[in-house]
Every structure is written in C-alpha cells, then in structure tokens.
Amino acid sequence: MKPKYNFFKNTGYALCGLKFMLLNEKSFKIELFIIIPLIIFSLFLRLDLFAHLLLIAVLFLILILECVNSAIEACVDLCSPDFHPLAKIAKDCASGAICLSISLAAIMWAFILFDLWF
C-alpha cells in the first residue's frame, strides 16, 4: 500500500537531503561557495527580470544536478559495491550532466554580461 502524502513530511525529507549534501558532498559545497556570490552579484546588474531569472536558474540547475548525481552515485554504490563497467557509465554520465550544466551557466553568464557591457 502506498503511504499517504504528507506535505510536511515530504518537505522534511527534502531538507534532510539538502542537509546531507551540505555536510557530506564537497563538490556541492564548492559550487555553493561560488554560486551564492554570483547570485548576489547578479542582483546588482541592470538587467530585466527575465535575464536575472535566467542567470539564477542556470546556477540552480548546477545544484539540482549535483543532488541528482549524488543520488545516482548512492544507488549505484548500493547495488554494485564492487567495480562494474555499467556502474562506471552511470556515474560518469551523471557527472557529465553536471559538466554540461556548468558549461551552460558559463555560456549564459558570458552572453548576458557581454551584452550588458558592450
């Protein structure tokens, strides 16, 4: 039987996941250390609302994918504690998604800042 939906319990689970990320995932901490100042910096730029939201959204995408990557890694480690080529592929693909999101953020920031200053 499926458990009953409870907004507050589900929010608690989400907060536990974020707490885990903050306490245990070094890459998440590093990304947060870079992203928070960028978000603050973006608020001082003379941009329209859409550009502000775009700059912030691509930064949040990095954090979102870092959470998904950690979840995939935990599941793979649980299912396959020993080395397996398919486990490596799953982990590498999840890391590739983070790399692509960082590239997307860098490109979006570069285009918007270039357009703002030139």
Closest by Cα among 103, 93, 94 to 25: 94
Angstrom distances, CA of residue 1 to CA of 7, 8, 25, 67:
18, 20, 34, 28
- The answer to whether residues 38 and 62 touch, using CB atoms and an 8 Å cutoff, is no
Annotated active-site residue 66? The verdict is yes
- Return the amino acid letter for 93: C
Q: Which of 25, 31, 66, 73 is an active site residue?
A: 66
> Which of the residues are catalytic?
66
